[in-house]
Amino acid sequence: MANRVTSMTKVAMPWGTIQDEPKQATATVDIVIPAFNEGNCIEALLNDVVKAKQDDWFEIEHIYVISDASTDQTDEIVQQVAARDQRVRLIRKQERKGVQDSKNLAFTVTNADILVFIDADVRLASEHSIPKLVQYFRDGNAALVQGGLVRPCCGLNLNPAKQAGYFDWILVDRIRRQKDMSWWSIDGRVMALSRGFYHHLSLPCSLADDQFIFYSCIEQRRKFVWAKDAIFYYGPPESIADFVHQWSRYFFYTNKSHQYFSEDLIKKNMSVPGLWRTIMSSIMRHPLCGLMWLLCYGISKIEFMRRVNFEEYERGFFWTVSKQLTIKDEGRLRDESALG
């Protein structure tokens, strides 16, 4: 980190003299995992994170799980992992207040040089995923880094939600390769923030946390990086209802964003060039997935227009059902990553 102090190490010189040599201090990294009833997933993610490699310039100091008053086995599982690794710490909220509140709490708990948020249903592709994510902060210029998220191919699975979810990932990946950040490709499942950036953030409960963070980065003219080589895996929606809820709340928060950010920022800086051309060409290449996506997308529009769950979205309650990726999913993902 550019703003870190340096310590001095004594080095023996050829002529018997002693000279002070500057040595770069280690940057601190805190991992924060917001969780609500993630008993099916949390242990696998924590096992990934505690095994993550650390380079000589940074150290993972704390791994916080902020439980939003979970009612399943989430808290007990975290405590079991904490007994094996002292970096893991459980912060339990007595009252459910939503993911934005959990992230605001994280801003007050940590003082790390780099703060990494990871959703509880995400998996690390390898022990190098975190080093590849945080390496962009080494020169002290980056404020926000988004992980390279990969969703498993649904293969011959005829579940419409899984087909639609995979097509969703195809679209986001294609759009992001055209433009690193846009309103369509914002995804907060894995993101890292510099201390100089997150110390000035306070997330409103009525706007999606990732939208507020990404839009703030652009508004403040800070540096954003899409770390496409820092691979993290995440699963598809389990049902049409889950897919529809995700998109309906996305419409809700996108509309809400106009209350916090200028029209110029949203329409110009976050625009998606040739969006429908990309959608139609993707449907031509992946017809089954594309048709299922159009169906589910249309249903989500109807749900949004009917204002379903708007009260929950206003309070920041938008957790969805999570399921741990299977060994088959992970094997397919690693094969795809190797090919890509």
* Cα(329)–Cα(333) distance, integer angstroms: 6
Query: pLDDT tens-digit profile of 50-109?
Result: 999 999 999 999 999 999 999 999 999 999 999 999 999 999 999 999 999 999 999 999
**What parts of the chain have a pLDDT lower than 70?**
1-25, 319-324, 326-340
pLDDT at 22: 40
pLDDT at 155: 81
What DSSP state is assigned to residue 136?
Answer: G
pTM of the predicted model, to two decimals?
A: 0.89
* Cα(149)–Cα(232) distance, integer angstroms: 5
Q: With contact defined as beta carbons under 8 Å apart, do 64 and 110 qualify?
A: yes
- Starting from the edge strand earliest in sequence, which strands make up the sheet with 58-67, in order? 88-92, 58-67, 27-35, 114-118, 190-194, 142-150, 223-234, 122-124
* Cα(204)–Cα(316) distance, integer angstroms: 9
Q: With contact defined as beta carbons under 8 Å apart, do 74 and 37 qualify?
A: yes
* Cα(241)–Cα(161) distance, integer angstroms: 8
Q: With contact defined as beta carbons under 8 Å apart, do 45 and 118 qualify?
A: yes
Bridge partners for 8 per DSSP:
22
pLDDT at 328: 53
Domains recognised in the chain with CATH numbers:
27-339 (3.90.550.10)
* Cα(300)–Cα(246) distance, integer angstroms: 8
